[in-house]
Amino acid sequence: MTTILVTGGAGYIGSHACKVLKQAGYTPVTYDNLVTGWQDAVKFGPFEQGDLSDADRLDAVFAKHKPAAIMHFAALSQVGDSMKDPGTYWRNNVLGSLTLIEAAIRANCLDFVFSSTCATYGEQDGVVLDETAMQAPINAYGASKRAIEDMLNNFGASHGLRSVIFRYFNVAGADPEGEVGEFHRPETHLIPLMLDAIDGKRPALTIFGTDYDTPDGTCIRDYVHVMDLVEAHLLGVKWLEQGKPNRVFNLGTGTGFSVRQVVASSANVTNRDVPMTEGPRRPGDATALVSGSNRAANELGWSPSRSTMPQMIADAWRWHQSGHYDQ
Ligand code: UFG
């Protein structure tokens, strides 16, 4: 069986990726430092605890498992945090990825699927966000991911590293079979925080900013189901296996939802009120981020099937109610 090294395989998206990799006949080896991941989420293949910054440990893991490709999810990913502590983001995400890439090259493991973000586009009023849009991140998180994209391109030219880069829009939902789901510590994402407020685990959801230049004054995002997202990663591995060229793909549905629309949909799906208050803007938040590209559908054959807002909330709610990872 072909082995794939999955950095961040104990995290939200990485654990779902391991599930689909295993279902597709691969062996996913999780490499994770468990700072934000959970060992309980490593269910689909071997686990190797380690840090991205630990070159010796990475060398040992490459030598032991001989992966054919890497899916690189491990990263700090909170926009707000990245504005308060950019150094930690640059060190962990950028230096960590450099250490990983150099270890991969030493091991001659040259197929690389990378988890990037629409946050690399920044704030671009009226611009269609397809893969050719200018990248002008407005937060340190997005800047760190853009730097890694550059790094992959540089090592592609110098060492033949082959990459598929996915720029995610907002990932939501959970494995419908309930084996893995969304969890972050601390939680900062809209949908899980809202579900917490709905069932009384938090007093209320705070809407960050109601004076944006949008129809209802709240930020607009493009939400994609985590299962659809990881299916795209599988297609990315196959793309590289087939010797196709380095490529960047947006992963979003092309439909934007405001924070208030997400709140309304959650109230509908759960049939409960959403306790909420209105607060100031969160530094680093762009007004609207919606994918303007069909490249993943046209070229990879990606067809997201669960990425409707009610489906994402229903799957997230089922996971939420299962009590996994409650602290
Ligand atoms: N929001 C609130 N209240 C909250 C939490 C979030 O109003 O308590 C708002 C945010 O201001 C934003 C929207 O809900 O407008 C979504 O916020 P999230 O924190 O759920 O997601 P982000 O858009 O900040 O970031 C996420 C990922 C990033 C990724 C980005 C792309 O965390 O990794 O999507 O948009 F880059």
Q: What is the pLDDT of residues 203-217, one digit of tens each?
A: 999 999 999 999 999
The answer, yes or no, to whether residue 323 has pLDDT greater than 90, is no
Q: What is residue 220's three-state secondary structure? A: strand
Cα(189) to ligand 1 centroid in Å equals 5
Write the CATH number of the domain with boundaries 3-171+223-251.
3.40.50.720
Structure confidence by residue, pLDDT tens digits, 211-269: 999 999 999 999 999 999 999 999 999 999 999 999 999 999 999 999 999 999 999 99
The whole-angstrom separation of Cα 60 and Cα 79 is 33
Domain with CATH 3.40.50.720 in the chain: 3-171+223-251
pTM: 0.96
Contact call for residues 155 and 143 (beta carbons, < 8 A): no
Q: Answer positive or negative: Cα dihedral of 199, 203, 204, 206.
A: negative
Q: Is the peptide bond before 186 cis (omega within 30 degrees of 0)?
A: yes
Nearest ligand 1 atom to the CA of 169 is 31
Q: One-letter amino acid identity for 106?
A: R
Cα(239) to ligand 1 centroid in Å equals 30
Minimal CA–CA distance to 318: which of 172, 204, 184? Answer: 172
Q: What is residue 162's three-state secondary structure? A: strand
Local structure of residue 322 (DSSP, 8 states) = T
Q: Strands 3-7, 223-225: parallel, antiparallel or unpaired by DSSP?
A: unpaired
Structure confidence by residue, pLDDT tens digits, 106-144: 999 999 999 999 999 998 877 889 999 999 999 999 999
Substitution candidate for ligand 1 out of 165, 170, 218, 312 with most atoms within 8 A of CB: 170
- Alpha-carbon distance values, 125 to 79, 206, 308 (Å): 19, 25, 25
Domain with CATH 3.90.25.10 in the chain: 190-221+254-322
Residue 300, both tokens:
């990879």
Minimal CA–CA distance to 174: which of 226, 137, 135, 217? Answer: 226
Instruction: Give the right CATH number for 190-221+254-322 from 3.90.25.10, 3.40.50.1370, 3.10.20.30, 3.40.50.970.
Output: 3.90.25.10
Residue bearing the CA closest to ligand 1, atom 33: 77
> Pocket residues for ligand 1 (CB within 6 Å)?
77, 79, 117-119, 169-170, 188-190, 193, 205-208, 219, 221, 259, 282, 285, 289
